[in-house]
Structure 1
Amino acid sequence: MNTKLLSINKEAWDKAAERFYGRNPLPEYGPLAPTEEELQLFGDVSNKKVLDIGCGSGHSLFYMKQHHASELWGIDLSKSQVKAAKLLLKNCTPPVQLFESPMEINPGLPINYFDIVYSIYALGWTTNLEQTLGHIHSYLKPGGTFIFSWEHPLYNRVKHTNSELIFNQSYHDEGSYEHEAWSQPVFMQQYKISTYINALIRNGFAIDQIVEDISLSELDIERHSNRWYSYEKAQFLPTTLIIKSRKL
């Protein structure tokens, strides 16, 4: 766990939380990506105990509430994000359990407890993938489901300029990098698809499904025009990697 990078990211998220309020929560998995209505990865979550890793403003947990999950738990690095989530979910019964903490450590979450753990566009913020996946495995009941989405490993390595796609970084390069789309320093982690898969396997997960599809509906195109995730680039490269796995 890199405490220096965590401190930088926490400060950045505390300042930028409002900018990302309600951005791409479930049923969305990410910009220009298929939704849960299309993929049906979670299935029926009624009476399920769910944990959101990197819960942000709480909108994915609110989606779970609407679909009758029995318990809602969340963890996020940012104090501002947790505050926003508490406000959004203040009327939930039973009350939502939220923790302000890095995902690399267990802040007091129960072991072998959850039916479903998920992370929507948050796992790539971890400074220690193995540590994080080890904790997620411990939180789940045997046979429990872990689903995550994150920016596709190819997307950031390729530039789209003047109708050309140009690799500006080797696919083999992994580790932390400063993201250019932010106005202040933030550090995300870059891994190959095989790194995610092998880390899941090492930490006791079986892979059920991998999704690299895109969704280019008129609404998607309108929402993401001239942004980091653009329609033009998504025609050639997936924006999002989605993996469904389960605890052995």
Structure 2
Amino acid sequence: MDKNSVFKTNVIGAGEVGSAISVDMDKNSVYKTNSFYWDTKGNDFLGAISLPLYGAFVSEEKCHLFGDVSGKKMLEIGCGNGQSLQYQGERKASELWAMDISEKQIEKASQHLKACGLSAKLICSPMEEECGIPVDYFDFVYSIYAIGWTTDLEGTFCRIASYLKKDGVFIFRSHPIHKCVVAENDRLAFKKNYFDESWYSVSLDEGALTLSDRKLSTYVNALAKAGLVIEQMIEQSDDEIISRDDNSEFSKKAKMLPVTFVVKARKL
């Protein structure tokens, strides 16, 4: 992992990206703002947030949450430019499906997979909406960076549960704690209320994003309501990956608290 990869992961996590402005949550406005960002500037930041990495300092190669996916039907929520789909396809998954809110990312994913000799069913849609994905069909549904951006977490988890076969697995990562904290002189300082789940807008790189930070309990309770039971949760950072970093503020923080968590849940 190079210097820029760590920085880009932090940006996607909406870490120290400048001033945040509180906004009222309007679903259509959120869709418009965030899809425009991914259609334009967002593509520059996707390299650091695709499998086998779960964003910052957590790797599938160390955690083995998926296990053997050969012959399995896979659905990715928020596929970006298709690199995680490539990873699953090269591990012999039988079917690749994905959705993304950005038409540009769907186009890039299609081109990327074609160049890799892989095919996938790609759908441009918000994750909250009905978009023709089959129910009771998939062995795995996963999301590397998109779940935290849904405007309706409970509704999204219920949709994901409906896509899965019985005993199917949902794997996702998010980051409810690290955006509240900054590293200052080898100490951590809270800059934001962890309990505040209100929506806010941030400006970066001539673009803008609209986001909300949810508590860990919000994710856990939404999983339970959707009939998904947690089997495993990863929150520790990988020391080997951190050691490749250049001692950035982000890596210093990762040594002291979780900068991401990854959940593996199963449909009852």
For normalisation by structure 1, the TM-score amounts to: 0.91
Instruction: Return the offset for 1:185.
Output: 1.9
Partner Cα distance (1:117, 1:224) in 2: 34
Count of residue pairs the alignment pairs up: 243
SS at match of 1:116: strand
Question: What is the aligned counterpart of 2:183 among 160, 164, 167?
Answer: 160
- Structure 1: distance between partners of 2:267 and 2:202: 32
The structural deviation recorded for 1:122 is: 1.3
For residue 257 of structure 2, what is the amino acid of its counterpart? Answer: L
Superposed CA deviations along residues 103-150 of structure 1, whole A, max 9, x for unmatched, are 111211111110100000111111110111111011111110000011
Q: Residue 207 of structure 2: SS of its match in structure 1? A: coil
Aligned counterpart, 1:237:
257
* Residue of structure 2 in register with 1:142 after alignment: 166
Residue deviations 1:188-246, cap 9 Å, x none? 221111110110000111110111110132x545457547xx11111111111111001
- The residue number in structure 2 matching 1:97 is 121
Q: Partner of 1:90: helix, strand, or coil?
A: helix
- Pair 1:199-2:234 in alignment: no
Matches within 5 A, 1:112-123: 112-123=136-147
Aligned to 1:2: 27
Residue 10 of structure 1 and its aligned partner are, at CA, apart by 0.7
Q: Is the 8 A contact 2:106 2:122 kept in 1?
A: yes
Counterpart of 1:70? Answer: 94
Q: Structure 2: how far apart are the matches of 1:15 and 1:222? A: 30
- 1:17–1:81: 8 Å Cα contact kept in structure 2? no
Using the alignment, how far apart are the partners of 1:129 and 1:117 within structure 2? Answer: 15
Question: Which stretch shifts more, 75-84 or 166-175?
Answer: 166-175
Deviates more, 1:91-100 or 1:186-195: 91-100
**C-alpha distance in structure 2 between counterparts of 1:197 and 1:180, whole Å:** 30
Aligned to 2:50, the other structure's residue is in SS state: coil
Asked if structure 1 preserves the Cα contact closer than 8 Å seen for 2:41 and 2:205, the reply is no
- The yes-or-no answer on 1:169 pairing with 2:166 is no
2:19 aligns with none
Q: Give % identity.
A: 42
User: Distance between the aligned counterparts of 2:242 and 2:103, measured in 1?
Assistant: 30
Contact residue 216 and residue 231 of structure 1 kept, 8 A: no
- Structure 1 equivalent of residue 69 of structure 2: 45
Please tell me the residue identity of whatever aligns with 1:139. Y
CA RMSD of aligned residues (A): 1.9
